[in-house]
Amino acid sequence: MADATVERAVVVHQDLPVSHTAPGAYEAPLFGAYSKKVGMWLFLASDSLTFGALLFAFSYNRIYTTPWPTPFHAASIANASIMTACLLSSSLTMVLGVFASQRRDRAWTRYWLLATMVFGTAFLVLHGMEWSKLIGEGLTIPGFPKPAAAASGELAEVSKNVPQFPATFFGLTAMHMLHVTIGVIYLGVVAFRKLFLPILGAIWLAGYLLIPSDNVFHYGIHALLLGLIVAAIILFLKPKDYDAHDVEVSGLYWHFVDLVWMFIFPLVYLMSTRIN
């Protein structure tokens, strides 16, 4: 009799619905974070190895190449300082965007993300102007389009006598500019979704038509085309309304890009400056 009662109780217990709402009762996310955030942290950890290798290469060549050139002067440092201010301002607007998304304020989330994109775009434009100036003065590497007139002077001598400097400089800053470009596209997708695609397409087309063919950025502009294709695939195959978690994850990427620049600015610019 007792055995039959226990058996019926077990059967009744098995038929009851199981609630999964109790916090901590079942498998918890890694470190208490949701999967998208963990995935972004893992990506940033792997990406930090890439920038670490580039920074190491620059530092190694600086230590073991004597004399190491110091081609940057007041104008370059002033321009790089403005670029730094743009990225620092973008970090602030990114934080405000995350706060607005957590308040579910969609309008201000878009405004702050747009402000972040503007600061990031300003950084890219200033960096592109600096690259064009340096290349025009003779700081080049094999594979760059040759300027119409052969350059001569300090930077041309640096490229000729210490090719390690332009190779490591352009390699490191090009990788960072690529990440900033990806970040601007990423934020545009999160903020505006499909509305951002025609804007990105128009920017690519204008850049392709207006940038001269002998300018190195004539080839670099195709990064926007690749970003447009990837963004279109994501938005059309898996359309969604990005929430506060998505904004926070995009903020992690953007802050990482800003943090990398905080290493590049003193190492590449300030320590390669000649004070007259």
- For residue 231, being part of any structural domain is answered with no
**Beta carbons of 95 and 251 less than 8 angstroms apart:** yes
> Rounded to 5 degrees, what angle do the CA atoms 251, 257, 262 make?
125
Reported as a single tens digit per residue, the pLDDT across 3-24 is 555 444 444 444 444 444 444 4
- For residue 115, being part of any structural domain is answered with yes
N-term to C-term CA, the chain:
101
Specify the pLDDT at position 69.
84
d(CA 125, CA 207): 12
Specify the pLDDT at position 226.
93
HSE-CB at 8 with a 13 A cutoff on CA atoms is 5
- For residue 114, being part of any structural domain is answered with yes
- Which regions in the chain score pLDDT beneath 70? 1-34, 145-152, 274-276
Domains: count for the chain: 1
- For residue 193, being part of any structural domain is answered with no
CATH code for the domain of 117: 1.20.120.80
Please give the sequence-ordered ranges of beta strands (E in DSSP) within the chain, or none if there are none.
none
Specify the pLDDT at position 262.
94
One-letter amino acid at 135 equals I
Specify the pLDDT at position 6.
45
- For residue 62, being part of any structural domain is answered with yes
- For residue 255, being part of any structural domain is answered with yes
Domain residues for the domain of 131 are: 33-177+243-272
d(CA 238, CA 229): 14
- For residue 51, being part of any structural domain is answered with yes
- For residue 196, being part of any structural domain is answered with no
Specify the pLDDT at position 86.
96
Q: What is the residue whose two structure tokens read 């080049």?
A: 140
